[in-house]
Amino acid sequence: NMASNTEAGKETGEAGSEAGKTTSTGTGGFDENTKKTVQKIPLLKTRAGPRDGEKWNERLKEEYQALIQYVKINKENDNDWFRIKSNKTGTRWEGKCWYYHENLKYEFDLCFDMPVTYPATAPEIRIPELDGKTVKMYHGGKICLTVHFNPLWSKNVPRFGVAHALALGLGPWLAAEVPDLVSRGVVVAT
């Protein structure tokens, strides 16, 4: 029974992009705040996926430790912007993410399943309620990541985990897409 809840709450102006960082592995294409934040998220060590039994349990412990640290970093920077939890086996993750734009909060449900090939393959984060509302999204509400994300993820297997996917994937996506969705009247504040 590992603690599988993490909380993060308020995202300010550029906050979405603050959700990303790496180590000496280079974060080309990401803004400075994102890079600084990602460099503080612990790197993972265990190369294990959902079908790897005990090794997967060890990987999940590392995932939770990295998420807890990421939430702590966000809270210290007044940048809490998500809440997430996994099922007992760590194969399905659900939660909420939010973004503040012009002092209004926009909140969305998020979810993803761990790919069988994880951590070699990053999870595909979904925001189902926005499916079809932006071109930066694939069928089923899967967010379309920047061209910089997948090469960076590949270079950092198995060191990157869920926290890194949120920081380098979802955070920048929200920062880029929410203002556009708001300006087109597609989403309303919560």
**Which member of 43, 144, 157, 186 is catalytic?**
144
3-state secondary structure of 130: helix
Q: What is the DSSP letter of 168?
A: I
Active site residue 144: yes
DSSP string, 23-75: STT--TTS-HHHHHHHTTSPPP-----TTSHHHHHHHHHHHHHHHHHHHHHHH
Burial class (CB in 10 A: 0-12, 13-18, 19+), 15: buried
| Residue located via tokens 């550029």 | 14
Gyration radius (Cα) of the chain, Å: 15
Between the CA of residue 35 and those of 84, 123, 133, what are the distances in Å?
Answer: 22, 20, 29
Residues annotated catalytic, as ranges: 144
